[in-house]
Amino acid sequence: MKYYLIAGEASGDLHGSNLMKGLAAEDPGAEFRFWGGALMEAVGGEKVRDYKDTAVMGLVEVLGSLRKISANLRACKADILAWKPDVVILIDYPGFNMKIAKFCHAHGVRVFYYIAPKTWASREGRNRKLKAWVDRLFIVFPFEIPYFTEKQIPFIYKGNPLVDAIDGFAFSPVTDKKYVAILPGSRKGEIARTLPGAMAMADALHALPEYKDWKFVVAGAPARSEADYSPIIAGREYVQLVFGRTYDVLKFAAAAMVNSGTASLEAALIGTPQVVCWSTSNFNAFVGQHILHILDHIKYISLGNLILDKLAFRELIQYYFTPEAVTAEIRRLIEDAPYRQAMLADYAEIRTRLGGSGASRAVARSMIELL
């Protein structure tokens, strides 16, 4: 069968690649055409466009990229009609993918949505559209089960694909020094907002005798280049920028400062004590709080905390994200053994609740059965 997949971010590229492997294993005649990245490309098939050319985040960024987004949508729609897939598989990335779902439904093209839009956090109006335009939703978090059941949207849950991705990874150290990991996000705007605070934390710790010989390792995002980081990192010999080895950076770190998102769940599954730090522009923050009412729907922004429904690790959000707060929390993660052990115990529970291995292939099998 012919599978057309659309991923718009690094995490979507990861999950898309594992799903493609599962589809190929279950359907030896599988043909792939996709919007994604290097990981999906390595599996095989035809890449239409790289996700780094399509990713846009935040209202301000979206408003500045409307012409580009419209051109991408037109190109994607035309390509789907020309290729005539058996199914279009949308992977997260709802701002773009919901429009494609509507188009496919109108043209009689079957639609599966893998990794559901986070309507439990905001934009609940999308539930009506999911029910109307999507043939089947594939969810990846246990707390989504009661939510989508209540909304009466047909779904399939087979566990979380990150468990497989991490358990199958061959880790190797990035340095022989003790270090703190810094994951400032994958988008340019996230890096610009998060990395300066991380550097202030690194400066403060480096000035202390007990941390004088430590490193601070920044995990460079796949879609970014050194130019996105070097102006902020400049002049710090104790800061190391590493690309393409995020899991390695997390695995051997004493603690991690992590921008919210998939990376915080990856840190939990790998077992790295963390603090989540996140901020956005004042305009986006105002819209999220007063117009979209995001904080009215969720208690936490990190997936691991949402899975446990408690604060397994701290979240320093917007105005609480200060260099002083980050520095204090990183020191506690390293120096306070009982605090660290309690977090690791919560990590074990997160892993238990996500289920066992084989999620990607199980989802692939379910998709093929439906088709």
Average pLDDT along the chain, 371 residues, taken 10 residues at a time: 95 94 97 96 96 61 68 96 98 95 98 95 92 97 95 96 92 97 91 95 98 98 91 97 97 96 94 93 50 58 94 94 97 98 97 91 97 96
- The two tokens of residue 37 are 């990245």
* Predicted pLDDT at 220: 96
CATH of domain 2-160+358-370: 3.40.50.2000
> Whole-angstrom Cα distance, residue 331 to residue 243?
25
User: What per-residue confidence (pLDDT) applies to 192?
Assistant: 92
| Cβ 80 vs Cβ 4: under 8 Å | yes
The domain defined by 179-354 folds into Rossmann fold (3.40.50)
Q: What is the pLDDT of residue 69?
A: 84
Q: What is the DSSP letter of 254?
A: S
pLDDT at res. 291: 43
- Indicate the SS3 state at residue 3: strand
Pairing label, strands 87-91, 111-114? parallel
CATH 3.40.50.2000, the chain: domain bounds:
2-160+358-370, 179-354
Distances (CA, A) of 82 to 29, 85, 126, 181: 20, 9, 28, 45
What pLDDT is stored for residue 355 in this prediction? 86
